Amino acid sequence: DGGITQSPKYLFRKEGQNVTLSCEQNLNHDAMYWYRQDPGQGLRLIYYSQIVNDFQKGDIAEGYSVSREKKESFPLTVTSAQKNPTAFYLCASSFGRTGQSSYEQYFGPGTRLTVT
Amino acid sequence: SQQGEEDPQALSIQEGENATMNCSYKTSINNLQWYRQNSGRGLVHLILIRSNEREKHSGRLRVTLDTSKKSSSLLITASRAADTASYFCAPGFQGGSEKLVFGKGTKLTVNP
């Protein structure tokens, strides 16, 4: 059963704590992405990775960190430096090869993070 | 900025009616994608139209692309309550990497 999974669906943290969101895919995709979505807003790109052991900052990378040690996994850490971390976080993947046209992105179900 | 902008921001129609959403962008593209997002869920890819195509169909969906006007439209025919969702366009810009930039979307409500 191929797909992209995110866990957990809901996450609650106290202010000042780091938290790591999981994203796993078994689609054999090279590229993976993290987006943030605030209520009534579109998606904003946090980080993306086109190949293992490499990743690039998106539009709102400050306060976040990622790793890409395995092709299947692209965890996102929301650090205490992120000023307003409460949001809906979406992970996606695509075949993506550098220099090629944009490919269809497959999205996970999302993680809703609440920080109080 | 390099993103698509959807119009209108919100659209409310009755079941059975057609729904039309528009997307405008500013620089040359290789292709353009449309996605749907049900409330509280991830996005689902609907259709990709390439820059050399003018129209594409998928079931009750019809997408048009006018590169001279830098615009695209998504038409949903004979809408159903299940079509209630937000719809996003994502232009694939020439010379860009694999990243897509999403706008704020059109929130479609189909009333039964």
Tens-place pLDDT, residues B75-112? 999 999 999 999 999 998 776 666 788 889 999 999 99
Evaluate the omega torsion of the peptide bond into residue B8 and state whether it is cis, within 30 degrees of 0: yes
Q: Looking at residue A2, what is its pLDDT?
A: 64
Q: Looking at residue A32, what is its pLDDT?
A: 94
Residue of B nearest to A31 (CA): B98
pLDDT of residue B72 exceeding 80, the answer is yes
- Encoding tokens for residue A56? 């690039």
Q: How far is A97 from chain B (nearest CA, A)?
A: 7
What pLDDT band is residue B1 in, cutting at 50, 70 and 90? low
Q: How far is B80 from chain A (nearest CA, A)?
A: 22
Mean pLDDT (10-residue bins), chain A, 116 residues = 87 93 95 92 91 93 97 96 94 76 86 95
Amino acid at A69: E
Q: Looking at residue A40, what is its pLDDT?
A: 79
Picking from A81, A57, A74, the residue whose alpha carbon sits closest to that of residue A7 is A74
Q: How far is CA A52 from CA A11, A56, A77, in A?
A: 27, 12, 17
B98 and A96 within 8 Å at the Cβ level: the answer is yes
| Mean pLDDT score across all residues of chain A | 91
Q: Looking at residue B103, what is its pLDDT?
A: 85
Nearest by CB: A102 against B35, B92, B105: B92
The residues, ordered by sequence, that sit 6+ positions from A82 with a Cβ below 8 Å of its Cβ are: A62, A63, A64
Show which of residues 19-58 on chain A sit within 8 Å of chain B, judged by CB atoms.
31, 33, 35, 40-43, 45, 48, 50, 56, 58
Q: B82 phi and psi, to 5 degrees?
A: -70, -15
pLDDT of residue B57 exceeding 60, the answer is yes
Work out the average pLDDT over B36-62: 95
Please state, in angstroms and rounded to a whole number, the distance separating the CA atoms of residues B48 and A9: 29
More confident residue, B19 or A39: B19
Which residue shows structure tokens 């593209």? Answer: B29
Sort strands A10-13 and A111-115 into parallel, antiparallel or unpaired.
parallel
pLDDT of residue B2 exceeding 70, the answer is no
Q: Looking at residue B95, what is its pLDDT?
A: 67
Beta-strand (E) ranges in A38-81? 43-51, 54-57, 64-66, 76-78
SS3 content of chain A, % helix, strand, coil (to 5): 0, 50, 50
Q: Is B49 on the interface with A (CB under 8 A)?
A: no
Q: Which residues from B are below 8 Å from A112, CB to CB?
A: 40
Q: Which residues from A are below 8 Å from B50, CB to CB?
A: 101
Q: Looking at residue B101, what is its pLDDT?
A: 82
Work out the average pLDDT over B20-31: 92
Query: Is residue A56 within 8 Å of residue A42, measured between CB atoms?
Result: no
Q: Is A110 on the interface with B (CB under 8 A)?
A: yes
Q: Which residues from B are below 8 Å from A45, CB to CB?
A: 99, 101
Q: Looking at residue B27, what is its pLDDT?
A: 86
Please state, in angstroms and rounded to a whole number, the distance separating the CA atoms of residues A94 and B45: 11
A31 and B88 within 8 Å at the Cβ level: the answer is no
Picking from B87, B45, B105, the residue whose alpha carbon sits closest to that of residue A104 is B45
| Mean pLDDT score across all residues of chain B | 92
